[in-house]
Structure 1
Amino acid sequence: MSENLNASADRSASAEETDSELSAFRQVVEWLANRNSFAIVGVFLALGLTADHFGVPEPADNILYLIGGVLPLVLATVSTTEDGYDHGLSNWARAKIIASQLVFMITPWGLFTQLLQSGGTAVAYIRHRGRPPNRTRKTPTTKFSVPVEREWTVTNGGITKSTSHSWGLVSQRYAYDLVVTDDDGDTHEGNGQRLEDYYAFGEPVTAPADGTIVAVEDGLRDHPEPGSARVEWRTWNIVGNYVVIEHDDGEYSTLAHLREGSVTVAPGEEVSRGDVVGECGNSGMSTEPHLHFQVQDHSNFWIAAGLVPQFRDIEVRRPDDRRADHDVYGTPDEAETLYLWAGDRAAGTEGGEPA
């Protein structure tokens, strides 16, 4: 009996050590996930060049280059304690997302997209002399409504580095991804293998404020494999079908991943807050139907710097109690204008009532 008890104690101690090690590993992963992806690529590129320069045996340099290319993709699938929303991805789903992104990256259009993203980010930094907009600098004068009808859930996005949609990509730094969920938090009916299974698919997308249409795209197909965790690697435009609206001078909103053939506006057309401009779709680089919404300081998606949108006439449900104590995001009952964060359920209001 004593031997069995000792063995149990040893196993318990071993399990605690394993949990501690996993916890430490998780902390390292989360720390890396909150770093700038371009910085990570740069570090491993420099390490690879150093290994090649000093004659480190092959294939050390190539492995370092590979890690630099793949690691940011892996980290992009990691939910951190600061995100405010657990994306619930399995390792198998992560593997499929990463694999399809890698396939996209080696295509001619994928390579061109990477040049646009990295070059555009550099242009944005140069335009702002290394100090891109944030929540206190170059804030938009326009107050935005949620660009949808009824209640939607924010699945990605925030205004701090740790909660950002894509901090390293300046144009998408303060972007949001929105979906429609049911009471159980599911985004679709059934097994989710059909576009029509998704509650968001085909839902109206509206102008978030008064403005003028400056650019549209409406001819890209909706990725026909939702729920597969594979992105549309064949698309030449990761934004998919989109509408860009100019609001106050130098303030633009982009509504992306719209349904093919659903755009109802054209460049030069005036729109009012709440006007329908298209429908939610699954075009571009999208794993399931959702709306990508961002505010930017230039009409061009690639060279723009993201602006921090403040929302008005909005009803927000924040089930996680820790949000109430978050100084940046405030509380829905007290704030005159609101920032959104992943996990929020948000709906526009008219006259104080849900739209």
Structure 2
Amino acid sequence: MVTPSGSDAPRPLHRRVVARLAGVSVWVILGVGFALGLLVQSVGGPWWLAFLCYLMAGLLPVLLQAVSTDDTAADISNRERAVYTLAVLRWAVTPWGVLAQLRQLWGQVVAYARYRGAMPNTVRGAPKTTLSLPFDGEWTVMNGGVAKATSHSWEILSQRYAYDFAVTDADGESHAGDGASLADYYAFGREIRAPAAGTVVAVRDRLRDYPKPGSLWLEWRTGNVAGNHVTIEHADGEYSFLAHLKAGSTTVEPGDSVEAGDVVGRCGNSGHSTEPHLHYQLQDAASFWTAAGLPPRFTGVDVERDSESEEERSDADSRPSEPAAGTYLVAGDRVSRRTAE
């Protein structure tokens, strides 16, 4: 039976409990699961119970992604959630998937310890690098923001202030036709540029573009979730990380110097990408795994923003910076480089 819109009918208790769990930090679930496993082992409990604790610590956060909450109910259907969850599980149980998760967990510890829990934000430890948009033409911010409510992945410290960019048409669609082919996507193959001057410190170029865009299935054959990427070191120990690039498209090598606007590759669908897009993040270290994210501000940018996005920016952490310092973006923004008058 469908509950009418606006109905105050309460959900069953078990559904409320599961929904509450879905809102708990993934790291809390991981920590509790591992702590229980260690406790069982320390008191000489059965091996299978300790194994179950460790297993649930790893799988429960993934399974809970299939649960809708009040914040996500309108964003994705239950079927789509289930497909995505199965895709993540298929990858998570592979040896390279397990290794990637352990590297990410260790990276969280390293980044958190580096700042003693006082992670960078728009006020504390704000970045100094002057950034321009890393592409030509108009793109849409599909995911990301500098506040917790709009963050790309708030609980993953390196990706806390990351952005996903794609090209959309007048109807907001990112592809022509049914979107079953990579070539259908407007962003696929578009040039990606260095957002600021610096030195290239890392390049990955040989991972395939996952050939099933729009299906919510993910590449499961690699532990490199970022796919093909370029990392650029700027001044003041800040690094740009541009990910999911097209296989064989990078134009730079480690050690190369680049200027803002130089082409470094093309937009692709490599790594954990559900459709062609650019993943961009500014970080405080060269390593994708152990870095902490920094809130990027873009200069020389024209922004078309709807009123809903404007309301989301009212959070204290997402307040606009001074015009001379650049602009913080939020999901839904349509952005392009400002043309000279």
The Cα of 1:230 is off from its aligned counterpart by 0.4
* Pairing 1:43-122 to 2, within 5 Å after superposition: 43-46=32-35, 68-76=57-65, 88-122=75-109
Residue 21 of structure 1 corresponds to: 10
Q: Based on CA coordinates, which of the two structures has the bigger radius of gyration?
A: 1
Contact 2:282 2:295 in 1 (8 A): yes
Note the alpha carbon deviations across 1:225-262, whole angstroms, 9 max, x for none: 11111010112311110000111121000000000011
The Cα of 1:96 is off from its aligned counterpart by 1.4
Note the alpha carbon deviations across 1:297-349, whole angstroms, 9 max, x for none: 11111111111111111111111346157154446997852111111111122
Contact 1:316 1:332 in 2 (8 A): no
Q: 1:78 to 1:201 in 2, by over 3 A?
A: farther
Unaligned runs of 5+ in 2: none
Q: 1:132 to 1:334 in 2, by over 3 A?
A: closer
Q: 1:348 aligns with which of 316, 337, 341?
A: 337
Q: Does 1:170 align with 2:157?
A: yes
Letter in 1 for 2:259: S
Rounded to whole Å, the distance in 2 between the matches of 1:70 and 1:41 is 9
Q: 1:319 to 1:81 in 2, by over 3 A?
A: farther
Residue 134 of structure 1 corresponds to: 121
* Pairing 1:1-355 to 2, within 5 Å after superposition: 19-22=8-11, 35-46=24-35, 68-76=57-65, 88-321=75-308, 323-324=310-311, 326-327=314-315, 328-330=317-319, 337-351=326-340
Superposed CA RMSD: 3.5
Query: Residue 249 of structure 1: SS of its match in structure 2?
Result: helix
Unaligned runs of 5+ in 1: 1-10
The Cα of 1:270 is off from its aligned counterpart by 1.5
The Cα of 1:61 is off from its aligned counterpart by 7.8
Rounded to whole Å, the distance in 2 between the matches of 1:145 and 1:79 is 36
Query: Residue 279 of structure 2: SS of its match in structure 1?
Result: strand
The Cα of 1:18 is off from its aligned counterpart by 6.1
Rounded to whole Å, the distance in 1 between the matches of 2:204 and 2:74 is 29
Rounded to whole Å, the distance in 1 between the matches of 2:40 and 2:277 is 43
Q: 1:214 to 1:18 in 2, by over 3 A?
A: same
The Cα of 1:21 is off from its aligned counterpart by 2.0
Rounded to whole Å, the distance in 2 between the matches of 1:43 and 1:131 is 22
Q: 1:77 to 1:272 in 2, by over 3 A?
A: farther
Contact 1:315 1:348 in 2 (8 A): yes
Q: 1:317 to 1:70 in 2, by over 3 A?
A: farther
Tell me the TM-score normalised to structure 1 length: 0.83
Runs (4+) off by over 3 Å: 14-20, 22-35, 43-57, 59-71, 74-83, 327-336
Rounded to whole Å, the distance in 2 between the matches of 1:93 and 1:82 is 16
Q: 1:17 to 1:214 in 2, by over 3 A?
A: closer
The Cα of 1:206 is off from its aligned counterpart by 0.8
Tell me the TM-score normalised to structure 2 length: 0.86
Rounded to whole Å, the distance in 1 between the matches of 2:169 and 2:14 is 34
Note the alpha carbon deviations across 1:42-81, whole angstroms, 9 max, x for none: 2345567778999999x99877666543443355577877
Identity within the alignment, %:
49
Rounded to whole Å, the distance in 2 between the matches of 1:278 and 1:322 is 30
Rounded to whole Å, the distance in 2 between the matches of 1:177 and 1:276 is 18
Contact 1:330 1:338 in 2 (8 A): no
Contact 2:320 2:328 in 1 (8 A): no
Query: Residue 89 of structure 2: SS of its match in structure 1?
Result: helix
How many corresponding residue pairs?
339
